[in-house]
């Protein structure tokens, strides 16, 4: 099975983890693996928050770490190890870099927010699926079956 699973999530968007995190934990449990939940703070967000200062970046990253820890603590505590990783930069490239750094066998991610009206794969999931050097599982969850 999979020994190292990377789970990229958007900490501001519940739909990116509420289905994907339990699925990643289940896959890791089956393979006696580990899950790394990660999020990316986009540099653009830092610039919009104010002057791009190191202290501003540290504050935003600390807030992201706290939110990620809060999210992870609500799922499968003690079942499998769940590491956390917060990165700064472009979402797609940081997911690929995290997969490499954590030696991921599998990346599990939600495709996009379900409130989007199209049924296409999200742009970050598409980027990761094209460029990852490991398997990628893109999860789709519909409240109603697609047409």
CB neighbours of residue 79 within 10 Å? 12
DSSP string of 63-101, one letter each residue? HHHHHHHHHHHTS-TTTS-EEEEEEES-HHHHHHHHHHH
**Adjacency order of strands within the sheet including 106-110:** 82-88, 34-41, 4-8, 106-110, 135-139
Tell me, what's the pLDDT at 131?
94
Tell me, what's the pLDDT at 58?
85
The pTM assigned to this predicted structure is 0.85
- Tokens 């472009």 appear where? 90
In terms of residues, how long is the chain? 147
Q: How far is residue 47's CA from residue 135's CA, in Å, rounded to a whole number?
A: 33
| Residuewise pLDDT in 10s, the chain (147 residues) | 799 999 999 999 998 899 999 999 999 999 889 999 999 998 765 555 555 566 778 888 999 999 999 999 987 667 888 999 999 988 999 999 999 999 999 999 987 655 554 445 677 888 898 999 999 999 887 555 545
């Amino acid at each position: 099975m999979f020994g190292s699973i990377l789970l990229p999530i958007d900490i501001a968007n519940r739909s990116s983890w509420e289905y994907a995190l339990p699925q990643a934990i289940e896959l890791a449990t089956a393979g006696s693996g580990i899950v790394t939940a990660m999020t990316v703070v986009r540099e653009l967000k830092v610039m919009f928050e104010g002057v791009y200062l190191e202290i501003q970046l540290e504050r935003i990253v600390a807030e992201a770490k706290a939110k990620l820890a809060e999210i992870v603590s609500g799922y499968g505590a003690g079942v499998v190890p769940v590491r956390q990783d917060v990165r700064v930069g472009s979402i797609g490239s940081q997911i690929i870099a995290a997969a490499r750094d954590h030696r991921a066998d599998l990346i599990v991610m939600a495709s996009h927010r379900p409130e989007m009206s199209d049924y296409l794969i999200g742009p970050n999931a598409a980027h990761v699926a094209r460029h990852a050097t490991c398997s990628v599982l893109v999860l789709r969850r519909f409240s109603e079956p697609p047409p």
